[in-house]
Structure 1
């Protein structure tokens, strides 16, 4: 899917689901890694993660488009456009958009084991085993493996 096809799809979804035109730019942004899309408050443009389309297809991309269009139309109307606002939640439910982006990147854990009490410790980030110790017994930690969850 090209950026022009995405622009046409966003305009079509806006007209069908919100009965309002989308008058700004929609494009794919390669720098988005963990989120499905982004609404720019200043320019009113929308960015989308190409991985949503590649991994999950057009149906999931349309749900993400509806989510970002909720931000767009509510902000332009001067109403509550943030995730915490009731108007946003109601409009999202009414249009059938996704509340959260699908999982795009695998979650990676580093597994360590205490050499004294044998306790297993899972961390997302690597730690310096010379500097950090077990929180329970203050024993030395040993790196075991990296796992994807």
Structure 2
């Protein structure tokens, strides 16, 4: 599927489910990483993550488009278009659109440092586990303000 076919699909779904035309652009954005799509408030365009079509299929893509069209039509009408708004939640149910998209199965795993830094308070023995090291001369225990000691891990 290319951008022209996506545009046609968005226009079709807009008329089919919302009984209103989609008058802006719909296009694939390969830079999207953590979301299936987004509605741009300033241009009223819709951007879709093509990886969802490739990995989860056209049915998932249709759900994402319906979700973004909910944002689109509510925003243009001056009604509550944000995820927390009751009007948005109601419209999602009416058109059977998902509130959130599924996680991609082939999503790259973020690299985290495997090392955990462990600090203990010398007064109350409170244990702190941190991914990043902290300066024990600058920071103290949040519980009793005692001195922190780094444990070897």
TM range (shorter): 0.7 to 0.9
Q: Which residue of 1 aligns with 2:13?
A: 13
Q: For 1:111, what is the secondary structure of its paired residue?
A: coil
Q: What pairs up with 1:123-134 in 2 under 5 angstroms?
A: 127=132, 129=133, 131=134
Q: Any stretches of 5+ residues in structure 2 without a counterpart?
A: 121-126, 142-147
Structure 2 CA distance for partners of 1:96 and 1:110, relative to 1, 3 Å: farther
| 1:111 aligned to which of 99, 111, 114 | 114
Deviations 1:34-53 (A, max 9, x none): 01111111111000111111
Residue number in structure 2 paired with 1:96: 96
Flag the structure with more relative contact order, 1 or 2, with Cα contacts below 8 A and sequence separation at least 6. 1
In the alignment of these two chains, the number of paired residues is: 135
Residues 31-70 of structure 1: pairs in structure 2 closer than 5 A: 31-70=31-70
Whether the aligned pair in 2 keeps the contact of 1:111 and 1:122 (CA below 8 Å) is no
Greater percentage in strand: 1
Residue 39 of structure 1 contacts residue 47 of structure 1 at CA under 8 Å; is this kept in 2?
yes
Whether the 8 Å contact between 1:29 and 1:50 is mirrored in structure 2 is: yes
Matching residue of 2:25 = 25
Deviations 1:121-141, CA, capped at 9 Å, x for gaps: 685xxx4x5x568x9x74346
Q: Which residue does 1:139 correspond to in 2? A: 150
Q: 1:132 to 1:12 in 2, by over 3 A?
A: farther
Residues 29, 47 of structure 2: 8 Å contact kept: yes
Tell me, in whole angstroms, the C-alpha distance in 2 between the residues paired with 1:12 and 1:110. Answer: 47
**Normalising by the residue count of structure 2, what TM-score does the alignment of the two structures yield?**
0.75
The CA deviation at 1:85 is 0.4
**CA contact 1:113–1:141 (8 Å) conserved in 2:** no
TM-score (norm 1): 0.77
Kindly name which structure, 1 or 2, has the bigger radius of gyration based on alpha carbons: 2
CA distance in 1, matches of 2:58, 2:149: 51
Q: Quick one: structure 1 residues 73 and 28, their matched pair in 2 at CA, closer, same or farther if it must change by over 3 Å?
A: same
CA distance in 2, matches of 1:141, 1:5: 58
